[in-house]
Amino acid sequence: MEIPFSPPFVNDEIINEVVDTLRSGWITTGPKVKQLEKEVVELTGCPEALAVNSWTSGAILVLKWFGVGKGDEVIIPAYTYSATALSVIHCGATPIMVDVLDDFTMDPIKLKQAITKRTKVVMPVDFAGLMCDYEAINEVVKDKAVVSLFTPASEKQSDLGRILVLSDAAHSIGAKLNEVSSGKATDITIFSFHAVKNVTTAEGGIICINLPKPFSNEEEYKLMRLWSLNGQTKDAFTKSQAGGWKYDILFAGLKVNMPDLCAALGLGQIRLYSQLLNERTRIGKAYEAFFSNQAWAKCPILVDEKRVSCNHLYALRINGINEAQRDQMIEYITDLGVAVNVHFIPMPMLTVFKDLGYRIEDYPQAYKNYAVEISLPIYPQLTNEEVSYICSTVERAYKSLL
Ligand SMILES: *Cc1c(COP(=O)(O)O)cnc(C)c1O
């Protein structure tokens, strides 16, 4: 059997949606993007959603919108994809990494200890489809002592009056915390629509805006939209209408809008999302049924008292092995035709961050999680037969170590 890790879900309905865009005479930002934004608002309950061309560009946009720059600090977990940190670096600010919990999400106690008067934003990461403990994290940023330390240096920072909680929700569209959907649990949430994510537009992302008073989410949507379109007062669609040629550039914005051609792919997917989520859950439960009976295996949390995962990744851990043995297992599994992965190599183990002085020794839980982790394939197209084959292949790989 040959089982790929994460092929995109594309059916005739989705293909028709893309072809419809190609035939429509309008391929960049226009009606399909508007419709996708509306679908995300309906799915999550967040007040406004702005589509962009990646999670990464969305994060840079939000940080710039909030006035984050040189001398500022943004707290992130050490255990994430590098884009979380790079978006901060691209704004000239400093990523402050903190360790994670056994469940892979940011440790709220470590977060609190890392806060200084330079902290402007905290960017927790919803790992594998499981949301962070935002009750605890929101409580930290609203703590009296933490609020009094906050030193605003932009109009938006003054309006908020505290650290902004910006969720890296690249994995968590469709997940829930206390019945609240990802997208509505923090000030701002960004989903990724990259090709391997639960919903994809090939490349893309969406910013869910859920700011408290005195902000008007509608006004901030309009402003962020300007940020995504060079700070230009008219988008290409409006300018293409007869008599619409005149425009102004209000400030040095980015150019990170999503094209309709991509939005069409995402629209086709998001309309099927509750079905696709059920299929992901089917696979997550099948893995759990098998691996929870193996003493050597540690299953990820799919559901707990507060949270329901959207089963983006299945992050299995192997008890009692070391990093080299994990690598050996992966080689064995790969040889039998199953593509697996590791999420994530902690950032302090990567050259760019080592060069900046980060050390993995400072993040023992991140290393511990990483060294024994193997991400198994999980996507709607996987058959039960394939899932059984993956389970027995992982079991054989473990036994091959003995
Ligand atoms: C995929 C991913 C990103 C980056 O998403 P892009 O849309 O490719 O920019 C950021 N954070 C996490 C945790 C991711 O998995």
Q: Is the peptide bond before 344 cis (omega within 30 degrees of 0)?
A: yes
Enumerate residues lining ligand 1, CB below 6 A. 54-56, 80-81, 83-84, 125, 168, 170-171, 192, 194, 205
**Residue 218 to residues 40, 142, 213, 259, Cα–Cα distance (Å):** 15, 24, 12, 21
d(CA 189, CA 210): 8
CA of 87 to the centre of ligand 1 (A): 10
Beta bridge partner(s), residue 314: 376
Question: For position 306, what pLDDT does the model report?
Answer: 97
pTM: 0.98
Return per-residue pLDDT of the chain as tens, 402 residues: 999 999 999 999 999 999 999 999 999 999 999 999 999 999 999 999 999 999 999 999 999 999 999 999 999 999 999 999 999 999 999 999 999 999 999 999 999 999 999 999 999 999 999 999 999 999 999 999 999 999 999 999 999 999 999 999 999 999 999 999 999 999 999 999 999 999 999 999 999 999 999 999 999 999 999 999 999 998 888 888 888 889 999 999 999 999 999 999 999 999 999 999 999 999 999 999 999 999 999 999 999 999 999 999 999 999 999 999 999 999 999 999 999 999 999 999 999 999 999 999 999 999 999 999 999 999 999 999 999 999 999 999 999 998
Please tell me the residue having the least CA distance from ligand 1 atom 5.
Answer: 55
At which residue do the structure tokens 């109009």 appear?
155
Pick the CATH number of 12-270 from 3.40.640.10, 3.40.50.2300, 3.40.50.880, 3.30.70.100: 3.40.640.10
**Ligand 1 atom nearest 83 alpha carbon:** 10
Task: Give the three-class secondary structure for 284.
Answer: helix
Residue 46 and residue 211 in contact, taking contact as beta carbons nearer than 8 Å: no
Q: What is the dihedral of CA 388, 302, 42, 205, to 10 degrees?
A: -80
Phi and psi at residue 385, in whole multiples of 5°?
-65, -45
Question: For position 237, what pLDDT does the model report?
Answer: 85
At which residue do the structure tokens 């000030």 appear?
187
CA of 225 to the centre of ligand 1 (A): 20
Other CB atoms within a 10 A radius of the CB of residue 90 amount to 15
As to burial, measured by CB atoms within 10 angstroms (0-12 exposed, 13-18 middle, 19+ buried), residue 331 is: exposed
Q: Parse the chain into domains and list their residue ranges.
A: 12-270, 274-401
Other CB atoms within a 10 A radius of the CB of residue 251 amount to 11
Question: For position 191, what pLDDT does the model report?
Answer: 98
d(CA 336, CA 82): 30
Question: For position 235, what pLDDT does the model report?
Answer: 87
CA of 196 to the centre of ligand 1 (A): 10
Q: Considering just the CA atoms, what is the radius of gyration of the chain in Å?
A: 22
CA of 385 to the centre of ligand 1 (A): 30
CA of 56 to the centre of ligand 1 (A): 7
Pick the CATH number of 274-401 from 3.30.43.10, 3.90.1150.10, 2.40.50.140, 3.40.50.2300: 3.90.1150.10
Question: For position 240, what pLDDT does the model report?
Answer: 85
